[in-house]
Amino acid sequence: MSEYSEYNVKKLRRTHKGRIIAGVCSGVGEYLGIDANLVRIALAIATLFGGAGVGVYAIGWLLMPEEGKDSSIVQDLVAKQQRNRDGWGGGEYHSQQPPQQH
C-alpha cells in the first residue's frame, strides 16, 4: 500500500520501516520528510523537561493507524464497543429471566 491515497494525499501512519517500538517516530518523520531520529530526540527532550514526550508518544501510538491499516487502535476499540452494544459482537450474552408468576 502506498503512502498516498487515490487523491494523492499523504497519510500519517505508524511505519514498519525504521520502527524501534511502535513506529510512531518513524511515521511522523516520514510524513514530515525529516529523519525519524530528530523526532525521537524532540520526544526525549520533551520527556526530560516535564514528561510530555511519553504522553505524546502514547497518544500517537493509539491514534495513528499502522501502515497497511485504515484504522487506529482507538478506532478499532470504539468499533468493537459499538458492535457489542448493537448486538453484533458474535459472543454477546443475553440473560433472559422467566416471567414473574403471582
Percent of the chain with pLDDT over 70: 77
Please name every residue paired with 4 in a beta bridge, in sequence order, or none if there are none.
10
CA distance 79 to 57: 23
pLDDT at residue number 94? 47
Q: What is the pTM of this model?
A: 0.67
| Nearest C-alpha neighbor of 24 from the set 80, 77, 72 | 72
With both helix axes pointing from N to C terminus, report the angle between 52-63 and 24-32 in degrees, rounded to the nearest 10.
Answer: 80
Query: Looking at residue 90, what is its pLDDT?
Result: 52
At 1 the three-state DSSP class reads coil
Confidence of residue 102 (pLDDT cuts 50, 70, 90): low
Q: How confident is the model at residue 101 (pLDDT cuts 50, 70, 90)?
A: low
pLDDT at 95: 47
Which pLDDT does position 88 carry in this prediction?
Answer: 60
Distance CA 3, CA 99 (A): 58
The answer to whether residues 98 and 91 touch, using CB atoms and an 8 Å cutoff, is no
